[in-house]
Amino acid sequence: MRLGTRKVVDRSFTGLGIFSIALVSLALVILLTPIVVRGIGAVVFRATIEHDRVLMEHFERGNASTFAARNATAIAARAPVYEMLTAYEAQYGVDDFELEELREALQRLLGPAPDQSKPTLARDQFGATRWAQAQEAAHNVLYVQEWDYSDPTQFGVPVDVPRAKRFAGTPLESLFPYVSEHLDEMLQPHWTLYWGFLLDDSLDAHMFGGIWAEILGTLYLTIGAVLFAVPMGIISAIYLVEYAPDHWLIGVLRSCISTLAGVPSIVFGLFGLAFFINTAQVSKYFMAADSTGVSSKSILAGSLTLAILILPVIIRAAEEAIRAVPRTYKEAALSVGAGKWRTILTVMLPAALPGILTGIVISMGRAAGETAPIIFTAAVSVGRPLEVWQTLTQPTPALPWSVYNLCTEHTAADEIRHVQYGMVLTLVVLVLLLNTAAIILRARVSRRLAG
Amino acid sequence: MTTNPSIAPIGPGGAGRLAAPRSLLLSKRASRLRRVLALLGHGVLFLIASSSALAVIFIFFFIARDAIPFFRLEGFKEFFTGTAWYPTHEPPVFGALPIFVGSGLVTLGAILVAVPLGVPAAVCLSDVLPFSVRQYVKPVIEMLAAIPSVAFGFFALVIFTPLLQEHGGRVLAGVWWVVATPLVALLVFVLSDVVANWVVGEARHRAVRVLLAVLMAAAGAWLLFDVGGRFAALTISSGTNALNVSIILGLMALPTVVSVSEDALQAVGRELREGAYALGSTRAEVLVRVIIPAAGSGICAAVILGVMRAVGETMVVWMASGNAAQIPQPWYNLLAPVRTLTATIAGDMGEADQSAGSAHYHVLFAMALALLAISFVCNLISEQVIRRSALKNE
Amino acid sequence: MFYGDSAAVRDVTLGVPRGKVTAIIGPSGCGKSTLLRAINRMNDLIRGCRATGRLLLEGEDVYRPQIDVTALRRRVGMVFQKPNPFPKSIFDNVAYGPRIHGVRSRSDLQGIVEQSLRRAALWDEVKDRMRQNALGLSGGQQQRLCIARALAVEPELLLMDEPTSALDPMATDHIENLIAELRGTYTIIIVTHNMQQAARVSDLTAFMYVGELIEVGDTSGLFTKPVNQRTQDYITGRFG
């Protein structure tokens, strides 16, 4: 090859590397942008009067006088709608399928009609709480989806047909232009910052309210896992660095640690089910004698399972940190007559602490984000925030599991996308905060070791 | 230095605040006690340290204990070779071959994404980028590693799936253009030079060179447009398929591949690099001819660890692979929905009758045992590979 | 002394007189440090290291199995080649030893710390910043701090393993003066490959070569009229 070509190949080789890094960064941006943007939308959004009503009725929050004023305007704006309905019913009777459909669509938008009795399910008690939802609901009031089979070579195509057509010539004909023009007055949209999303209980399986139960459950599981894994991990690391003889058994032990690090997380879940719940029945010891729950999920079982999962991470981090402590510290301590244990406790561990903390923080991130190990051991779909003492016997909702559950198994998965995004963002922020803390800690350690 | 007048020569023990030094000798009893205590402490430490070994043994034992009843009930043959998976039929059929194929297919796909992206990125991180830039790139890779798998799964299901379903062909064509254009351009450039040298030797036949370059460029452009057009014409009937999962799993396995290969590249000694540079090689030649071969086994280990990550991942495949237990036709058809071992375990455990010890319950443990065996073997291989390369570099 | 199967130091018989400064000189790798570290059994830390023979401290063999190693190390202080203060405050560095040996009261600790720092000629420089991290001190100060730390447990014998090799000439001068002050109070064994230093600070000098003790004698005598040819060659600079 000519020298020129060699140079170009050299440059493009560099370019290839940079290109791949750019692609990876791009992928990260593509991944995180929608999660961040729409996740923030769970907390900052245009709320309607219905959102305020949920807060007033179920969480006893909000400014009563502002609410009363807004509510009065909204009721006044809604009155004509119900008048038209009554007029229509007087003329055509109530037993009308199309009327039924319209009423249902209106209920999704505005909540139950004033003359209606209070529905049992919370999701039917309120209209659209978010302006984006309200616009969709309004669209469903104004249009009906029909299937167009006119082209026999193709599958049916959905087409939106104005609902007004069905009611042409009736008192309801003017309802549709009224709804589309007075949507603002009927729902009173306003920007709001809903901190309660993080701190409120969920209402009717996340149709309204917040995700506090999930956040708390994740915290319990994470802290529990760390409580079990950290002492064992640090002691194991001390043994491996300071005591372990050159013996084939120690080689086997090291292989076991790396095997444990490679076990798929779902297998941990099965193991937790087979061992902690079915065999050891860890929660049985803390239950009242007369309780029937012999083997059930609990935070305790989940924490233990997660603890085994993060144990190798902690052992490796602690081992590395203890190995990095300069030998001279140890010599100095021994030379003034400190015993081995005293040297480890007073000199080696304090010096290794930042490195160990880095490992702990990273493993917390790992434990908080894992889903598969808690499916069979600790997670439930719906639940209330638990007290600390309940963690020994009770299962809990947790962020990662609820994300899965809400977007695949919830009956109204499409309507509560904002909750799903909010949960994902909360989880990602939690984990990334922990990892950022670890990166900062590590930078400080390396600076100290350098200077 | 002037003598500090405040120093008074005080004999040992003169301060009198410390207890007098103990005798050097311990009594026989104290000595024995001390030795027993030390041995005891050592033993306790060993016990705690071996808890992770204990955990591994327990995991194998408890998974195997619930897996064996399945093989006793149903035998091996159907499980490993049968292609029909109807665990809830009467009688149930447990042909897990499609599920093994599904796991293999998404893993293969993930590796096809992670390795071509990850190895150049690792090379770039270890040998090309200056330290100041590297500082900012590493956290990006670490962030990718830190994001919980359920967040990836959520992205795959809620954002990526509809995108593929509605604009599948165009998305794929876009990716093809972005990735292939620079590569094809480079290939055209190098090939035309090589061919020109082969045809006319070192002589400077300008016309021949230009002609060759134009011909090659035309061929390259044809290739780009042809394949791009084919991609654009594709319609994807279901967004939850092996391709979707492969891309996401590839991203998830990427940090492992990058960091392990980077370690391997860093481990190649300075002397080797300097020696090669001293012979007048360009950086690309040093990397391709010297450093990457020297780090080869480490990069192998990185790929194996990436495979482990992809095989063992649950949430993404459960949410976005389509969960259809059928072998894709043809087998490499990434656009078909598949079902993997992990997703089957996660999804079916809720349905399987736990208390009665049904075959459906035990078959899931059999799958977990298979997963465990795969990860164990991968782990052993990667450990051996890393150890061998460590020996070689010493 | 053996490392694995190879003997690092053999056939050394050396008497160290109380209250005197004994210097051990010799080329690098001749076993000086190994010998020194054998005295307070710091070599125990090194895997595969073992010792045969007897090493008597006040008539007691320190390699007898019943020996309490921590008590031994309390009576035999050590200062290392590179200053190695703990990453703690100056006060905690010096108080580390006394605390280990059971001194709890705050005022007692303060007294011991002050006294030790005075003896190490560091008190005036650091008395106003006892709470600061010891790693902020200069190299020479750090080394004197390490000497203070060793003195704080009131040893009888002080081992110094090339204590000035990592320091600049000014700091070296400080340390050498300090050794001169400590002479008489403590028995000191100093390992150095700097012959001038040995000549300046020691009363007795021993010359070691390839793990063997070649010659020992009065410092002035050894440097002016060496008996052995190899000592002669070494101190006149033919090798080493």
User: B–C: how many Cβ contacts below 8 A?
Assistant: 80
Q: Which of A278, A275, A266 is nearest to A370 (CA)?
A: A266
Tell me the per-residue pLDDT of B130-158, one tens digit each, with 9 for 90 and over.
888 888 888 888 889 999 999 999 999 99
Q: Which two tokens stand for residue C123?
A: 């008190």
Q: How high is the pLDDT of residue A115?
A: 81
What are the distances in angstroms from CA C233 to CA C8, C212, C222, C238?
22, 16, 12, 5
pLDDT, one tens digit per residue, over B261-290 is 998 888 887 788 888 888 878 888 888 888
Q: Could you give the domains of chain C?
A: 2-85+155-235 (3.40.50.300)
Is the pLDDT at B213 greater than 70? The verdict is: yes
First to last CA, chain A: 48
- Phi, psi at residue C80, to the nearest 5°? -100, 170
Judge if ipTM > 0.95. no
Number of helices (H) and strands (E), helices first, in chain A? Answer: 18, 6
Judging by beta carbons within 10 Å of its beta carbon (0-12, 13-18, 19+), is residue A36 exposed, middle or buried? middle
Contacts of A127 (CB under 8 A, 6+ apart): A48, A50, A107, A108, A109, A110, A111, A134, A137, A187
pLDDT of residue C33: 83
Q: Where in chain A is CATH 1.10.3720.10? A: 212-450
Q: What is the pLDDT of residue C149?
A: 92
Are B341 and B310 within 8 A, CB to CB? no
CA distance B97 to A170: 63
Nearest-neighbour CA in chain C from A323: distance (Å): 15
Whether the per-residue pLDDT at B11 is higher than 50: the answer is no
Q: What is the pLDDT of residue B354?
A: 64
**Which domains, ranges and CATH numbers included, belong to chain B?**
80-393 (1.10.3720.10)
User: By three-state DSSP, how is residue C62 classified?
Assistant: coil
How confident is the model over A9-30, as pLDDT tens digits? 788 888 888 888 888 999 999 9
Q: Do A440 and B157 touch, CB atoms closer than 8 A? A: no
Instruction: Please report residues of A whose CB lies closer than 8 A to that of B125.
Output: 17, 21
Over residues B181-195, the mean pLDDT reads 84
State whether residue A23 sits within 8 Å of chain B by CB. yes
Confidence bin at B7 (pLDDT 50/70/90): very low
In angstroms, rounded to a whole number, what is the distance separating the alpha carbons of residues B160 and B153? 10
In terms of DSSP H, where are the helices of chain B?
A: 28-49, 51-74, 77-81, 97-123, 131-146, 149-154, 161-200, 206-233, 242-267, 270-278, 283-285, 292-294, 296-312, 315-320, 341-348, 359-393
B contact chains, 3+ CB pairs < 8 A: A, C
Nearest CA in chain B to C60: B24
Contacts of A245 in chain B (CB under 8 A): none
Contact B117 A266 (CB under 8 A): no
DSSP labels, B321-385: SB---S--SSTT-TTS-B--HHHHHHHHTTTS-TTTT-HHHHHHHHHHHHHHHHHHHHHHHHHHH
pLDDT at B13 over 50: no
**Six-digit token pair at A310?**
């993060």
Chain C: partners with 3+ C-beta pairs within 8 Å: A, B
Helix (H) or strand (E) holding A104, with range, is helix A97-110
Contact: B62, A271; criterion CB under 8 Å? yes
Do C45 and A331 make contact, defined as CB atoms within 8 angstroms?
yes
Rounded to whole angstroms, how far apart are CA atoms A447 and B211?
58
- Give the nearest chain C residue to B10 (CA atoms): C185
Secondary structure (DSSP) of A148-214: E---TTS--EEEEEEGGGGGTTSGGGGHHHHHHHHHHHHH--EEEE-THHHHSPEETTTTEE--HHH
Structure tokens at C28: 């690098």
CB contact under 8 A, B25 and C64: yes
- Please report the sign of the dihedral spanned by the C-alpha atoms of residue B42, residue B43, residue B44, residue B47: positive
pLDDT band at residue A156, thresholds of 50, 70 and 90? confident
* Contact present, C198 and C23 (Cβ < 8 Å): yes
Torsion of CA C15, C18, C21, C26, to 10 degrees: 10
- Per the listing, tokens 């080789």 go with A13
- Closest to B362 measured CA to CA, from B67, B62, B60: B67
CB spacing of C111 vs B11 below 8 angstroms: no
Which of A37-51, A105-119, B89-103, C216-230 has maximum average pLDDT?
Answer: A37-51
Q: How far apart are CA A416 and CA B175, in angstroms?
A: 31
Asked if A335's CB is within 8 angstroms of C42's CB, the reply is yes
Q: How far is A139 from chain B (nearest CA, A)?
A: 22
Chain B hits for A375, CB-CB cut-off 8 Å, are 346, 349
Q: CB distance B124–A14 less than 8 Å? A: yes
Q: Do A407 and B154 touch (CB under 8 A)?
A: yes
Mean pLDDT, rounded, for C94-121: 88
Average pLDDT over residues B247-263: 93
CA distances from A315 to A422, B50, B132, B240, C58 (A): 34, 11, 31, 38, 45
pLDDT confidence tier of residue B368, bands split at 50, 70 and 90 = very high
Euclidean distance between CA atoms B219 and B216, whole angstroms: 5
To the nearest whole Å, the CA of B315 is away from the closest chain A CA by 7
For C151-161, b/e burial (b = at least 16 CB within 10 A) is bbbbbbbbbbb
Question: Which of A420-424, B41-45, B119-123, C84-88 has maximum average pLDDT?
Answer: A420-424
Express as a percent the part of chain B with pLDDT over 90: 34
How many Å lie between the alpha carbon of A335 and the closest alpha carbon of chain C?
Answer: 6
Predicted confidence band of residue B106 (pLDDT cuts 50, 70, 90): very high
d(CA B113, CA B144): 15
Interface residues on C facing B, Cβ-Cβ cutoff 8 A: 57-58, 60, 62, 64-68, 71-72, 74-75, 98, 101-103, 108, 111-112, 115, 118-119, 121, 123-124, 153-156, 173-174, 177, 181, 184-186
- With respect to CATH, is domain A212-450 assigned 1.10.3720.10? yes
Region B341-370: mean pLDDT is 84
What distance lies between CA C66 and its chain's CA centroid? 25
Chain B residues within 8 A of A292 when measuring between CB atoms: none
Average model confidence (pLDDT) across chain B: 84
pLDDT at B17: 55
Element (H, E) at A47: strand A44-47
pLDDT reading at B26 higher than 90: no
Per-residue pLDDT, B81: 86
What phi, psi does B22 have (nearest 5°)?
-70, 160
Q: Take residue C47 and report the two structure tokens written for it.
A: 């895997």
Distance CA C52, CA A53 (A): 88
Q: Which of B7, B23, B31, B33 to mutate to test the interface with C (most CBs of C within 10 A)?
A: B7
Cα within 13 Å of Cα(B357), Cβ side: 11
Q: Of A267, A376, A435, which has the smallest distance from its Cβ to B142's Cβ?
A: A435
SS3 state of residue B61: helix
Residue A208 makes CB contacts below 8 A (sequence gap 6+) with A54, A58, A122, A123, A126, A129, A202
Residue B29 near chain C (CB below 8 Å):
no
d(CA B240, CA B339): 11
CA nearest B156: which of B337, B347, B341, B368? B337
* Average pLDDT estimate for A214-230: 95
C107 phi and psi, to 5 degrees? -70, -40
Burial class from Cβ neighbours inside 10 Å (0-12, 13-18, 19+) for residue B36 reads: exposed
Inter-chain contact C70–A338, Cβ cutoff 8 Å?
yes
Which of chain B's residues have a Cβ under 8 Å away from the Cβ of A275? Answer: 58, 62
Half-sphere exposure of A422 (CA within 13 A, CB side): 25
CA distance A403 to chain C (A): 46
How many other CB atoms sit within 10 Å of the CB of residue B226?
10
Contact A267 B59 (CB under 8 A): yes
| C87 Cβ under 8 Å from any chain A Cβ | yes
